[in-house]
Amino acid sequence: MNEITANLTDNDIRFIIETVDANLKDKFDIIKGDPEIIEKMLDAECDKLYQRIAEIGRETILTQITPRLLFEILLRKTAREIGEKLYIMERTATQKIPVFDTREVAAFMSDKAIVRYLADMLDSFTRIESFTIPVRVRKGIWHKIRYSDIDFSSLVRMCHAVDEEHRFRFYKRIADLCLFILGMFPEYVIRNLGDNPVPEPSLPWLFRENIDYEEEGRRFYKLAASHKEARLLGLDEIFSRLNEEFYLAKRPLNYISDNYLKFKKQNIFPSFKPD
């Protein structure tokens, strides 16, 4: 199955077809089997697809399509809009400032593999899991270590607890978590890392540590890129770009956070609600 359709359900594909041209509904099986057509529909008609999402309402849209398709549409629309702007606004601890790197962001987002990766990454944070893994301390002695896949500290501990050959999933998740936080919830990071950083009890628990998410995100994408598993999965080049251009990767996520999901983020990502 082609990458563009691998993570889309039949309902997703029907939504795309019906939105683009209701007369094509009878061609579902043909279109479903042709990923290039779906790719062209998503790219050429992202504005029309977004308009239908807005008309349905973000509160109910996820009863009709998957979060994965929602993010794919938002990312493509964002890439187009940023490419038409002279600058976009970025938040600092005290103000918003214009950032004039829209051409670089648009060029970065012209890589459809990057767009698909970011959509997959955002989708992964709509469901959070905790795991318990047995780790061998020494011969015959095993300890169980519990971690959450949105807990930076426990993920780092897992990296130290397992052998290098098993660290890829943790490298990737830590890097993704850093990008996700800086991209979708920068307001929490700003509040926690201002001129006088004091972790606030009102923040979600995972934001109460003073972490340089950009530095750590770049570091762990670099580690992920060099892992043999990344090459086997064909992700090494994407991770290398995310390491080198992390600041560009967070821009479209900031744009989506501020312009499309500002008041809905915590419904889509419920684990990131304040305690």
How much is the pLDDT for 256?
96
Query: Picking from 77-81, 96-100, 271-275, which range would have the lowest pLDDT averaged per residue?
Result: 271-275
Mean pLDDT value of segment 129-154:
79
Structure tokens at 94: 């005290």
How much is the pLDDT for 225?
98
How much is the pLDDT for 266?
81
User: Residue 208 pLDDT > 70, yes or no?
Assistant: no
How much is the pLDDT for 16?
97
How much is the pLDDT for 1?
44
Burial class of residue 221 (count of CB atoms within 10 Å of its CB; 0-12, 13-18, 19+): buried
How much is the pLDDT for 139?
77
User: Residue 3 pLDDT > 70, yes or no?
Assistant: no
* Mean per-residue pLDDT over the chain, rounded: 87
Q: Is 57 left (phi over 0), alpha (psi -120 to 50) or beta?
A: left
The three-class DSSP label of residue 148 is strand
User: Residue 157 pLDDT > 80, yes or no?
Assistant: yes
Torsions phi, psi for 160 (to 5 deg) = -75, -25
How much is the pLDDT for 102?
94
Rounded to whole angstroms, the Cα distance separating 67 from 61 reads 9
Mean pLDDT value of segment 141-160:
84
Distance, CA of 105 to chain centre: 16
224 falls in which pLDDT band (50, 70, 90)? very high
User: Residue 207 pLDDT > 70, yes or no?
Assistant: no
Q: 102-109 vs 67-83: helix axis angle to the nearest 10?
A: 140
How much is the pLDDT for 203?
59
How much is the pLDDT for 6?
76
User: Residue 158 pLDDT > 70, yes or no?
Assistant: yes
Residues comprising the chain, all counted: 275
How much is the pLDDT for 200?
56
How much is the pLDDT for 90?
81
Mean pLDDT value of segment 127-131:
83
User: 126-160 burial string, b = 16+ CB within 10 Å, else e?
Assistant: beeeeeeeebeeeeeeeeeeebbbbbbebbbebbe
Q: What is the largest CA-CA distance in the chain?
A: 66
User: Residue 242 pLDDT > 50, yes or no?
Assistant: yes
Residue at token pair 């469901």: 127
User: Residue 66 pLDDT > 60, yes or no?
Assistant: yes
Percent of the chain with pLDDT over 70: 88
Structure tokens at 229: 């598993």
Q: pLDDT tens across 11-55, in order?
A: 999 999 999 999 999 999 999 999 999 999 999 999 999 999 999
Task: Give the amino acid at 45.
Answer: E
The three-class DSSP label of residue 16 is helix
